[in-house]
Amino acid sequence: MRSLIDGQDSCVVMPTGGGKSLCYQLPAVMLGRTAIVVSPLIALMQDQAAQLAQMGIPAAVLNSSLPSEKQAQVIAKASQGEYRLLYLSPERLARGDTIAWLQRVPIAFFAIDEAHCISEWGHEFRPEYRQLSRLRANFPDHPIAAFTASATKRVRHDILHQLQLRDPHKCIASFHRRNLRYLVKQCEGTAQPRLLLRALRNYKDSSIIVYAPTIAKVEETVDFLEEHQIPAIGYHGKMEAVERRNNQERWMSDEVRVLVGTIAFGLGINKASVRAVVHLALPKSIEQYYQEAGRAGRDGQPADCILLWQKRDAALLAYFADQIVDPAERERAWQRYHSIRRFAESNSCRHREICLHFGESPKWTTCGACDACGCESDWLVKSVKAEKPTLRPPATPRMPAPAAAVGVPDIDPALREYLRAWRRAAAKEQGVPAFVVMHDSALDEICRRQPGSIPELLGISGFGEYKALLYGPRIFEALEQFRNGARAAAIPGREQRPTKAG
């Protein structure tokens, strides 16, 4: 943040949930000019702009999904310096007319999100990101900051070269996520679905992401979970955009706790209270696994990253690597294949292996928070060969569940559910995800303190003056209604809305 405020180029590598967005949002507000944020994700841009609006910070998104008259309005306001942050896609920035009108905008700096996409050595290389190299030529006097959660040393060097960063400040955070537990299990035959059931039953009332390798596997898994009384929804690229967005919002709003998706789901997802991420196949790289698994436990509370893989996954990755025509890209795919397979088959500390992959050299050799270091659980190690499918939770002892998965001390669960239902209703009314209204941690603190005034609400993390004035009266009213007997009514599919008892 200091380097951006001082006008210096920067390269920032921080884990998912580490605060990268704040690193460019706060300087933009302090400088009083416009930060141009380049992101490949329309949904993420929209969510971030909505969050900023909730804090009274003027921000806008400019992409092809907007009507032409709205695009013209955003451009006009940007030229007058009315926004602190303006979000653009790399495709939009590459357009010649964009460069022309951007030169009329009072720009503070450029922030390049998901910067690893610019590197051919990255796991998500996007050719349109290469065109960002033109920024330095067109805006030679403006700082450029690159942000990513998953870049090896080689990718970091490529980012510096492609963006032509000048003597950049480098902020490389540790890749060690201490609150995560990595559990890796090779599955045989029909063991995988049984283990998935066991895992999900350990996180009662908690949000979970299940990654499946194909669209068919997504749909099959959703049906399987529904058959075993675990409500779940799917997310994949073949769905209509409206259905995808609706399913994502239902999961974000806690209407359904389990979302089964392909890798199309998750980039930019800002849900802090995910208690587990389960992979049903080997990811194509350690970077991909780290990024996806890292969507668990962004609130800093304990969370699990579970990889249930089969040997056929490795065979499939090898097949696809061999089909790549370009020799250099084929070689990179094979390197990624060998790295993720070594990780899955290794008996070494999982946390340490990840750190070493990204060029970090931890002094410790064991973490106490992965299966390789002895941190397993009964549901994972017990044989499933003779086990029959059951509709009841297993009677075996459960692993120690994260605190957030078993309830929060000093909180009335009925009040918590009532406020969650109130939050869902408020979010739907405004057309924003539930976390934009307030994060789970803020909701829990309201349950504990039960504030009755704006000053008391300002004492809760997540509420500034603008947000406290926006929601305060409605929160106080909801608390009063609860004290008078109002409760959340259960609706099939787990959707709940506040209703008055009696």
At residue 401, does pLDDT exceed 90?
no
Backbone angles phi, psi at 51, to 5 degrees: -60, -45
* Average pLDDT over the chain, rounded to an integer: 86
Same domain assignment for residues 80 and 187: no
Same domain assignment for residues 320 and 363: yes
Backbone angles phi, psi at 118, to 5 degrees: -85, -15
453: domain CATH number? 1.10.150.80
Per-residue pLDDT, 479 = 95
pTM score: 0.80
Q: 12: pLDDT confidence band, cut at 50, 70 and 90? A: very high
At residue 111, does pLDDT exceed 90?
yes
* Segment 180-205, tens digit of pLDDT: 999 999 998 789 999 999 999 888 77
What does the alpha-carbon distance between residue 499 and residue 196 come to, in Å, rounded to a whole number? 35
Apex 117 CA angle, 114 and 118, nearest 5: 115
Query: What percent of the chain stands above pLDDT 70?
Result: 90
Same domain assignment for residues 329 and 224: yes
Same domain assignment for residues 206 and 326: yes
Per-residue pLDDT, 376 = 72
Per-residue pLDDT, 490 = 59
Number of structural domains the chain divides into: 3
7: domain CATH number? 3.40.50.300
b/e string for 81-108 if b means 16 or more Cβ within 10 A? eebbbbbbbbebbbeeebeeebeebebb
Domain final position from 172, 201, 232: 172
Same domain assignment for residues 137 and 241: no
What does the alpha-carbon distance between residue 314 and residue 98 come to, in Å, rounded to a whole number? 44
Residues in Cβ contact with 128 at an 8 Å cutoff, skipping those fewer than 6 apart: 40, 90, 91, 94
Fill in the amino acid letter for 487.
R
Same domain assignment for residues 232 and 213: yes
For residue 135, with 0-12 CB atoms within 10 Å meaning exposed, 13-18 middle and 19 or more buried, which class applies? buried
Q: What is the mean pLDDT of residues 289-302?
A: 90
Per-residue pLDDT, 424 = 87
Same domain assignment for residues 155 and 39: yes
Same domain assignment for residues 194 and 339: yes
Between the alpha carbon of residue 83 and those of residues 41, 248, 427, 430, the distances in Å are 20, 28, 24, 21
Same domain assignment for residues 12 and 114: yes
Same domain assignment for residues 314 and 372: yes
Same domain assignment for residues 228 and 93: no
What does the alpha-carbon distance between residue 317 and residue 324 come to, in Å, rounded to a whole number? 11
Give the gyration radius of the chain's Cα atoms.
23
Helix axes 413-430, 465-483, angle to 10 degrees: 130
Per-residue pLDDT, 219 = 95
The beta strand positions in 311-430, using DSSP E, are: none
Per-residue pLDDT, 266 = 65
Q: Are 15 and 175 in contact (CB under 8 A)?
A: yes
**Picking from 42-46, 246-250, 378-382, 446-450, which range would have the lowest pLDDT averaged per residue?**
378-382
DSSP single-letter state for residue 410: T
Domain final position from 373, 404, 435: 404
E strand or H helix that includes residue 367: none
Q: Looking at per-residue confidence, does 441 or 394 come out higher?
A: 441
Residues in Cβ contact with 18 at an 8 Å cutoff, skipping those fewer than 6 apart: 149, 173
At residue 398, does pLDDT exceed 80?
no
Domain final position from 140, 172, 204: 172
Mode of pairing for the β-strands spanning 207-211 and 232-235: unpaired
Q: Where in the sequence is the domain holding 479, given as residue range(s)?
A: 413-499
* Segment 438-463, tens digit of pLDDT: 888 899 899 999 999 999 999 998 89
* Segment 40-58, tens digit of pLDDT: 877 778 888 988 988 899 9
Same domain assignment for residues 30 and 121: yes
